[in-house]
Copies of this chain bind each other. A is one copy, B any other.
């Protein structure tokens, strides 16, 4: 996992908002990734960060994908994933 990647998991939403804000101070580009049920949380985190906290212009590029995995009951399951690339549109230096 690279420095500028944030994987959305089970922590509270605001933890991820804080993580994105911290990264935005240091990086020009941040990659936010989520799978399955965390997809909504990833979008919420990006929306809250860019609309309510981070006051500079950003662009987001969103792509989706899906992975097939075998679950605990030996059943094939397809899980969607999302990748949100968040780009700062200003120079901080």
Instruction: Please give the count of copies of this chain that the complex contains.
Output: 2
Pairwise interchain contact B80-A66, C-beta atoms closer than 8 A: no
Given contacts A60-B64, A63-B62, A64-B62, contact A80 B39 (CB under 8 A): no
Chain B residues in 8 Å Cβ range of A44:
80
Give the size of the chain A interface in residues (CB under 8 angstroms). 20
Q: Smallest CB–CB gap between A64 and chain B, Å?
A: 5
A56 CB–B CB distance under 8 Å: no
A interface with B by C-beta (< 8 Å): 36-37, 39-40, 43-44, 46-48, 51-52, 60, 62-66, 78, 80, 82
Q: List 9 A-B contacts (CB under 8 A).
A: A36-B40, A43-B80, A43-B82, A47-B78, A48-B78, A51-B66, A60-B64, A62-B62, A62-B64
